[in-house]
Amino acid sequence: MTADAALGIPGIVLQEVLSGVRSEKQFAELEGRLLAAFTVVLPSTSDYVEAARLRNRCLAKGLRASGPDCLIAVIAISGRHELFTVDGDFEAISRHAPLKLFASESDA
């Protein structure tokens, strides 16, 4: 990824980040910062279908991947994006799908 690459956030992740904020003032501030820093990436109908297919494939392999995690993975895959995450579930998902995970230079 280049230094000037656009950063996106799946809509479902935006919702999750904002869901834990109790103060309306903090909510509005965080919302503004997130929307200024990231392009919100929304799933298509086919992304939902592929997320279900990916979840079924993972379950068949013994991996209990969540529906939302599979949707996030599919959004990244279909957009040919690298996914930045600290959630180990996505590393497991990447063993069953062409999901590219962002690796920092210290990881390489």
Q: How confident is the model at residue 3 (pLDDT cuts 50, 70, 90)?
A: low
Degrees, nearest 5: CA angle 21-24-25? 105
Tell me if 65 sits within 8 A of 94, measured CB to CB. Answer: no
Phi and psi at residue 3, in whole multiples of 5°?
Answer: -65, -25
Supply the range of the domain harboring residue 14. 1-39
**Can you tell me whether residue 1 is helix, strand or coil?**
coil
Residue 96 has pLDDT above 70, yes or no: yes
Question: Do 47 and 25 lie in a common domain?
Answer: no
Tell me if 57 sits within 8 A of 92, measured CB to CB. Answer: no
Question: Do 72 and 84 lie in a common domain?
Answer: yes
Residue 29 has pLDDT above 60, yes or no: yes
What's this model's pTM, rounded to 2 decimal places?
A: 0.86
CA-atom Rg of the chain in angstroms: 15
pLDDT for residue 69: 97
Residue 104 has pLDDT above 70, yes or no: no
